[in-house]
Amino acid sequence: MIGPEHMKVVLRRFVVLAVFVAALWGIQILNWITGYGLNSVFGLIPRQLGGLDGILGMPVLHASFEHVTANTPPLLLMGALLAATATRALFAVNAVIVGLGGALVWLLGSTAIHIGASGLIFGWFGFLVTRGLVDRSLVALGIALLVGLLYGSILWGVLPGQPGVSWEAHLFGALAGSVAAFALPTHVHAPRLRDVERR
């Protein structure tokens, strides 16, 4: 049964998600004003020390307003599903997706400036689908099925050959999300009181 404390946690997460997406749009506006100069400074450039900070910079930078517009709906939907159902370890899940996924792009990606939140989206996709198989609760399986039906076609994005698309970020993001689902306990259940108090 979902209690008021659980609802407070979920609502707080929704606010954080909304702030994150709003920040992406704010960064996009600033990037556009500067002629997309932020991309070359903070984008991920494989195997270059100067591009290592792009592991953190890549998810918040985009190439155009069309790019950030395309990423916004899946960020909101999958982010909301995570906020509502993963009661523990959300910070750790995102750290694995961004850190491991980004590190693999840096180590193995093609020579280019890699930008965009799609690596994070693929990470959330991989996590939600894999968690359904790992957790095997009705809620987790239902969410995995929903995400698969709505966004299963994005899996084509992990294949090379699409000009201007970082398929490596997609592939390694999805792999990192799957690793996070196996490695971190995020069963779908009401949070314990101490989990609520920590937040």
The answer to whether residues 3 and 190 touch, using CB atoms and an 8 Å cutoff, is: yes
Whether residue 127 is predicted with pLDDT greater than 80 in this model: the reply is: yes
Least confident interval from 22-31, 58-67, 162-171 = 162-171
Compute how many other C-beta atoms are within 10 angstroms of the C-beta atom of residue 1: 4
Helices then strands, counting H and E runs in the chain, come out as 9, 0
31-34 CB contacts, 8 Å cutoff, 24+ apart: 31/61, 31/62, 32/65
**What pLDDT sits at residue 94?**
95
Reply yes or no on whether the pLDDT at 197 is more than 50: no
**pLDDT at 198 (0 to 100):** 39
The average pLDDT across 27-32 equals 98
Phi, psi of 106 (to 5 degrees): -65, -40
Q: Using CA of residue 62, residue 21, residue 56, residue 93, what is the dihedral sign?
A: negative
- Whether domain 4-198 has CATH 3.30.1520.10: the reply is no
**% the chain with pLDDT above 70:** 84
Q: How far is CA 77 from the centre of its chain?
A: 11
Q: For the stretch 140-169, what's the b/e string if a residue is b when 16 or more beta carbons lie within 10 angstroms of its beta carbon?
A: bbebbeebeeebeebbebbeeeeeeebbbb
User: 136-153: per-residue pLDDT in tens?
Assistant: 777 778 887 888 777 766
Please give the model's pTM, rounded to 2 decimal places.
0.86
Gap between the Cα atoms of 181 and 175, Å rounded: 10
Supply the DSSP symbol for 34: T
- Measured CA to CA, the distance from residue 199 to residue 195 in angstroms comes to 7
Residue 155 or residue 92, greater confidence: 92
45-71: pLDDT as tens digits: 999 998 999 999 999 999 999 999 999
Averaged pLDDT score across all residues of the chain: 86
pLDDT bucket at 193, cuts 50 / 70 / 90: very low
